[in-house]
Amino acid sequence: MKKIRKIGILTGGGDCPGLNAVIRAVVHTACRAGIAVVGIRDGYAGLIHKDVRPLALPEVSGILPLGGTILGTSNRDNPFQYAEPGAGGKVEHRDVSAQALKTIEYNEIDVLVTVGGDGTQIIANTFFEKHKLPVVGVPKTIDNDLNGTDVTFGFDTALNVATTAVDKLHSTAEAHHRVMVLEVMGRYAGWIALDAGLAGGGDVILVPEIPYRIEKVCDHIRDRAARGKRFSLVVVAEGAKPEGGQMVVARKVNDASDPIRLGGIAALVANQVEDLTGIESRYTILGHVQRGGSPTPYDRILASRFGYHAVEAAMAGKFGHLVGLRGNEIRTTPIQEAVAVPRRVKAGDDKVLVAKAVGTCFGS
């Protein structure tokens, strides 16, 4: 195997607490092994536009507790389907992967470490399979929906933010005898809603994987009121949908990797609950606050472990693989396997059963 002299690292997709911890761990581990590191700015856009910067120990000093990413990120620049203005202003997509490969060749990058979710890793795997590019993936998403790892870094920080919001809404809901509906992120996976609802004592949890009936939700709220519980907390994932219905789409953006932007389910649920029960209902959309800020200690440690093991995997020649947490150990999984099926909540999952056992309604 060719000796690794330089590693390139990029952060793709949505930003996430812990990205800087990964970058720091990669740089420290590589430098101590005599390997140079360069950072690619703004995800795959940096490869397309030749935007690369050296990363040595001074560049990563002090970044461990910082949110965001010092390299920037993008979820719009797929080198295999790059969007550019065409005739008449119409957006056209073309393959510019050869251009990205030239950037890698020019900068003498031997291995590319891709830190991102399913979209980022699908692109990485395409480079690996189509162009034999040595890649090592690091799983990142607050949604926690990527296989190949028991948990992704960033999820714990988002969960802490969401749980704090549930706790804060509890007091105002109880004071005003209202139903408070909290909408959290997660796209098509309900992990944030499930865990925040369980941790915060949510009375109703609505997730994309378990379609709900609003009548069931209202029956549960009425039953609580009859037992003297004059308020209720509803935690709803942005991708939740009623039985036989559709997810609520805020808007569509055609040139994004995922053109559908979810949002608005909390307003729908709150209005329906108030109309059907007569109990005043308010809603809060937590939004991007879940993605920001300093990562929790758990996420800092997990991200650092991922960064270290990504370099170890590269030196071991485990290209086309994703590092991930399995139990208490960091192991590798083929990227193709990790992105084949999203990691979703199942109706029989232990956390769902626990939530039901303590009186939580899923509207089913």
Instruction: Please identify every residue annotated as catalytic.
Output: 143
The two most distant CA atoms of the chain are separated, in Å, by 71
CA distance 237 to 234: 10
Burial 330-339 (b: 16+ CB within 10 A, else e): bebbbbbebb
Q: How far apart are CA 127 and CA 237, in angstroms?
A: 33
DSSP class of 294? P
d(CA 319, CA 299): 25
At residue 164's C-alpha, the angle toward residues 70 and 363, to 5°, is 115
CA–chain centroid gap for 269, Å, is 24
- Within 10 angstroms of residue 214's Cβ, the number of other Cβ atoms is 18
> Which of 48, 50, 52 has the alpha carbon at shortest distance from 78?
48
Quickly list H helices, 132-186.
155-176
User: Of the candidates 64, 54, 52, 53, which has an alpha carbon nearest to the alpha carbon of residue 24?
Assistant: 64
Closest CA to 319 of 10, 111, 9, 79: 111
Question: In 61-210, which ranges are E strands?
Answer: 82-85, 91-94, 111-116, 135-139, 179-184, 204-206
Please give the Cα distance from 337 to 147 (Å, whole number). Answer: 8
What is the CA 196 to chain-centroid distance, rounded?
Answer: 15
Inter-residue contact 146 to 338 (CB < 8 Å): yes
Pair of tokens at residue 144: 């926690």
- Name the 3-class secondary structure at 145: coil
